[in-house]
Structure 1
Amino acid sequence: MAPIIHCVRHAQGFHNLNTANHVLPDPLLTELGEEQCRKLRDTFPYHDRIELVTASPLRRTIYTALLSFEPVFNKHKETGGDGFKLIAIPEAQETSDVPCDTGSEPAALRKELVEEKGLPVDLGLVGEGWNSKTGKWAPTSEAIKNRAREARRWLKARPEKEIVLVSHGGFLHYFTEDWEDSSVYQGTGWTNTEFRTYEFTDSHDTEDLEGYPLDGDNASLVETLESRRRRGKEGPAPSREQQKVFYKLGLQGWDDQGLQLSVAEREAAKVPQGKEVGGARI
């Protein structure tokens, strides 16, 4: 049986404070961000059921995962699971190529997280070039859709029954293919440390939301009723056909907000300075 995925947006990072901070490379969490992690740690109801914690390899997502799901790591340590580690998934990195959304070199991450701090982080999947923002990692919708699907397929094949994925406000729309309300904030419908719960569907979808054929199962997800109720939504999640419409509206909404995925596009569009809304990046 495919696992349940609890998707989480990272806590507030220094890049969330203002648009000028978007030039900060791979920024850390703010004090408020760390407090948001503690609040999620104390209110998340499923710590005892989580068998795997994963995260984008950016520092803000890794630290959000380690702080927010501390009880999960402690539980496994107490039961003799010293080898229990957060697995960093490069496919789950953020969408754009601005400095704040570009990750650190693998060696730098390994030195900070493992060698200096001794944190339980597995960087085995984080290879050279993962932060190049070219090719597979390019800031284009096609590339992002492909790596989101790769991440879904990887997680669907895992043996664990309940998994946490800590990622980013923009990427989570691609990963979940849930585009409802995707422009509530600037570039996302997710607030900092918000979590939503998804299940893999029984359907074997062979086309993406734009109707393009796929090289196998799409590994489609759907938000659970309990998760939707938790955030004030009535009824079941939108159908895949409805999500196709929301996808187009979402991308148009981001464009209307002056959001482009690449630095070159942003500069060409001469995007004006925006306003921080609810901790969402611009």
Structure 2
Amino acid sequence: MAPTVHCVRHAQLRDSFPFHDKIDLMTASPLRRTIYTALESFEPVFSMHPEMKLLALPDVQETSDVPCDTGSDPQVLREEFADKSVDLEMVHEDWNNKAGRYAPTNAALKERARAARRWLKARPEKEIVVVTHGGFLHYLTEDWEDSSTYQGTGWLNTEWRSYTFSDESHGDDLDGKALDGENFTLIETVESRERRGKEGPTPGREEQKTLYKKGTQGWDDQGLFQSQEERDAAKVPEGEEINGVRV
């Protein structure tokens, strides 16, 4: 049976999370802020399971390539967390190089989110926590409802939502592009939606395709989601403006 996945946007929430005693796998983006969130907010989980380590997953790192969304080199992380319950085995060299698999593009983000879902569904554990980032959570869950409510996300700091895997099978992504292989889909539980004031089930696949396009356009309108190279190219050049022309 596929696991229940509790998705968390990094921040403190120890007292508001009611399922500490059910968690049997803790994972997080390898960025320092998500690692510390997981260790501190889920300290009761680690206390109940002294042998458990937080597993750092490069595929759930943040979307952009700005410095605050770019992680540290593996050796730096190993030194910082040497005395803490953190498993950095999957944090390979160049995981923080925002190119290829980790590029800040829709295509790359959708693909690594799909890889993360496939990895999660294959796990033997029954209750998994994933501590990640506001922007990436929309790619991971494929839920784009209210995705531009805040700066680059529809998730509040400290917010957590619970998901199960759908039995549906989709041959294309939210752009309508054919997929090579299975696209496992996460569906937010009714209890989770009710807890945050949402009525009814999660929007269906076809509606999500529309919400996805609106969401990514909303991020572009906010000046987000571009790579650093694209942002630099969009900057107004230095100089004097004469009759609307920069000289």
* TM-score, scaled to structure 2: 0.94
Is the contact made by 1:10 and 1:166 (CA closer than 8 Å) also made in structure 2? Answer: yes
- The residue number in structure 2 matching 1:112 is 80
Q: Are residues 1:159 and 2:112 paired?
A: no
Q: Percent identity?
A: 68
- The residue number in structure 2 matching 1:4 is 4
1:127 aligned to 92, 96, 99, which one?
92
- The residue number in structure 1 matching 2:21 is 48
- State the secondary structure of the residue aligned to 2:134: coil
* 1:174 Cα deviation from its structure 2 partner: 0.4
2:192 aligned to 227, 230, 236, which one?
227
- State the secondary structure of the residue aligned to 2:162: strand
CA distance in structure 2 between the aligned counterparts of 1:3 and 1:169, rounded to whole angstroms? 22
Q: Are residues 1:93 and 2:29 paired?
A: no
- The residue number in structure 2 matching 1:172 is 137
Q: Aligned residue pairs: how many?
A: 236
* 1:42 Cα deviation from its structure 2 partner: 1.2
- State the secondary structure of the residue aligned to 1:199: strand
Is the contact made by 2:54 and 2:87 (CA closer than 8 Å) also made in structure 1? Answer: yes
* TM-score, scaled to structure 1: 0.82
- The residue number in structure 1 matching 2:217 is 252
* 1:203 Cα deviation from its structure 2 partner: 1.0
CA distance in structure 1 between the aligned counterparts of 2:170 and 2:53, rounded to whole angstroms? 32
The letter of the residue matching 2:206 is E
* 1:268 Cα deviation from its structure 2 partner: 2.4
* 1:150 Cα deviation from its structure 2 partner: 0.5
The CA deviation string for residues 108-132 of structure 1, in whole angstroms up to 9 with x for no partner, is 0000001xxx110000111001000
Structure having the higher Rg? 2
The letter of the residue matching 1:110 is R
The letter of the residue matching 1:100 is C
Q: Are residues 1:140 and 2:105 paired?
A: yes
- The residue number in structure 2 matching 1:69 is 42
Is the contact made by 2:220 and 2:226 (CA closer than 8 Å) also made in structure 1? Answer: no
CA distance in structure 1 between the aligned counterparts of 2:171 and 2:88, rounded to whole angstroms? 31
The letter of the residue matching 1:97 is D
CA distance in structure 1 between the aligned counterparts of 2:16 and 2:216, rounded to whole angstroms? 32
> Aligned-pair RMSD on alpha carbons?
1.0
- Runs of 4+ with deviation above 3 angstroms: none
Q: Which runs of 5+ in 2 are unaligned?
A: 237-247
* 1:267 Cα deviation from its structure 2 partner: 2.3
- The residue number in structure 2 matching 1:103 is 71
- State the secondary structure of the residue aligned to 2:81: helix
CA distance in structure 2 between the aligned counterparts of 1:270 and 1:191, rounded to whole angstroms? 29
- State the secondary structure of the residue aligned to 2:173: coil
